Chain A
Amino acid sequence: MIAEAGHYALVLALGLALIQSTVPLLGARWRDPALMNVARSTALAQLLFAGLAFAALVTLHVTSDFSVLNVYENSHSAKPLLYKITGVWGSHEGSMLLWVSILALFGGLVAAFGNNLPLSLRAHVLAVQAWIAGAFYLFILTTSNPFLRIPNPPMEGRDLNPVLQDIGLALHPPMLYLGYVGFSISFSFAIAALLEGRIDAAWARWVRPWTLVAWIFLTLGIAMGSYWAYYELGWGGWWFWDPVENASLMPWLAGTALLHSALVMEKRNALKVWTILLSILTFSLSLLGTFLVRSGVLTSVHAFATDPTRGVFILLILCIFIGGSLTLFAGRASSLKQGGLFAPISREGALVLNNLFLTTACATVFVGTLYPLALEVLTGDKISVGAPFFNLTFAPLFVPLMIAVPFGPMLAWKRGDLFGAMQRLMAAGIVAVLGVAFAWAWARGGSALAPLAIGLAVFVIAGAASDIAERIGLFRVPLANAVRRARGLPRSAWGTAFAHAGIGIALMGIVCETTWNSEYIGTMKPHDSIPLAGYQFTLDGLTQRQGPNYHELAAVFSVAANGRPLSLMAPSKRNFTTRGMSTTEAALLSRGLSQLYISLGDTTPDGGIVVRIYHKPLVLLIWFGPVLMALGGLLSLSDRRLRVGVPKPAKALRGLQPAE
Chain B
Amino acid sequence: MRRLLAILCMFAAIGLSAAHAVLPDEVMSDPAKEARARNLSRELRCMVCQNQSIDDSEAPLARDLRLLVRERIAAGDSDSQVIDFLVARYGEFVLLKPRFEPQTLLLWLVPPLVFLGGGLALWMNARRRPKAAPQPNASLTAEEEARLAALMSGEAPAEKS
Contacts and interface: CB of A to CB of B under 8 A. Distances in A.
Interface of A: 235, 237, 240-243, 298-299, 341, 344, 352, 356-357, 359-360, 363-364, 367-368, 371, 375, 379, 381-389, 392-393, 397, 521-523, 601-602, 604-605, 610
Contacts of A382: 91-93
A386 B53 contact: yes
Q: Name, among B98, B103, B106, the residue most crowded by chain A CB atoms within 10 Å (CB to CB).
A: B98
Contacts of B118: 356, 359-360
A605 B15 contact: yes
Contact of B20 (A242, A387, A602): A602
Contact of B50 (A242, A356, A359, A392): A242
A383 B93 contact: yes
A235 B111 contact: no
B14 A388 contact: no
B103 A367 contact: no
A449 B61 CA distance: 34
Contacts of A605: 14-15
A281 to B, nearest CB: 13
B23 interface: yes
A381 B114 CA distance: 25
Contact of A363 (B43, B103, B114, B133): B114
B16 A602 contact: yes
Contacts of B27: 521
Interface in B76-104: 91-98, 103-104
A341 B133 CA distance: 8
Interface in B117-161: 118-119, 122, 126, 129-130, 133
A359 B118 CA distance: 9
Contacts, number: 105
B98 A385 contact: yes
B98 A383 contact: yes
B96 A381 contact: no
A393 B122 CA distance: 22
A384 B20 contact: no
A397 B129 CA distance: 27
A382 B47 CA distance: 11
B79 to A, nearest CB: 13
Q: Range of interface residues on chain B? A: 35 or more
B42 interface: yes
B8 interface: no
A389 B106 CA distance: 13
Nearest to B47: A384
B24 A341 contact: no
B14 A604 contact: yes
B6 interface: no
A299 B48 CA distance: 11
Contacts of A385: 96-98, 107
Given A360-B111, A605-B15, 14 more contacts: A235-B21, A352-B122, A359-B118, A360-B115, A371-B106, A371-B107, A375-B103, A381-B92, A388-B96, A392-B97, A393-B111, A397-B115, A521-B27, A610-B20
Contacts of B50: 242, 298-299
12 contacts: A243-B51, A356-B122, A363-B110, A367-B107, A367-B110, A371-B107, A375-B103, A383-B103, A384-B94, A384-B95, A386-B45, A521-B23
B32 interface: no
B114 A360 contact: yes
Interface in B6-54: 14-18, 20-24, 27, 42-43, 45, 50-53
Contact of B56 (A235, A383, A388): A235
Contacts of B17: 602
B34 to A, nearest CB: 11
Nearest to B20: A601
Contacts of A386: 45, 51, 53, 96-97
Contacts of A242: 50-51
Nearest to A604: B14
Contacts of B98: 383-385, 389
A360 B109 CA distance: 11
A448 to B, nearest CB: 16
Contacts of A237: 56
A371 B103 CA distance: 10
A490 to B, nearest CB: 29
A610 B16 CA distance: 11
A239 B22 CA distance: 19
Given A242-B51, A387-B42, A388-B96, A359 B114 contact: yes
- Pick the 8 closest A-B CB pairs, nearest first: A386-B96, A388-B97, A601-B20, A367-B110, A364-B111, A360-B115, A382-B93, A363-B114
Contacts of B91: 382
Contacts of B130: 341
A388 B14 CA distance: 33
Contacts of B119: 356
A364 B107 CA distance: 8
A601 B17 CA distance: 11
Contacts of B96: 384-389
A45 B16 CA distance: 59
Contacts of B53: 386-387
B122 A363 contact: no
Nearest to A601: B20
A384 B52 CA distance: 10
Q: Name, among B15, B17, B22, B107, the residue most crowded by chain A CB atoms within 10 Å (CB to CB).
A: B107
A397 B119 CA distance: 13
A521 B22 contact: yes
Contacts of A235: 21, 56
Contacts of B42: 387-388
Nearest to A233: B56
Contacts of A523: 24
A389 B91 CA distance: 17
Contacts of A368: 107
A603 B16 CA distance: 9
Nearest to B110: A367
A602 B58 CA distance: 11
A237 B24 CA distance: 19
A575 to B, nearest CB: 12
Contacts of A604: 14
A235 B14 CA distance: 22
A523 B23 CA distance: 9
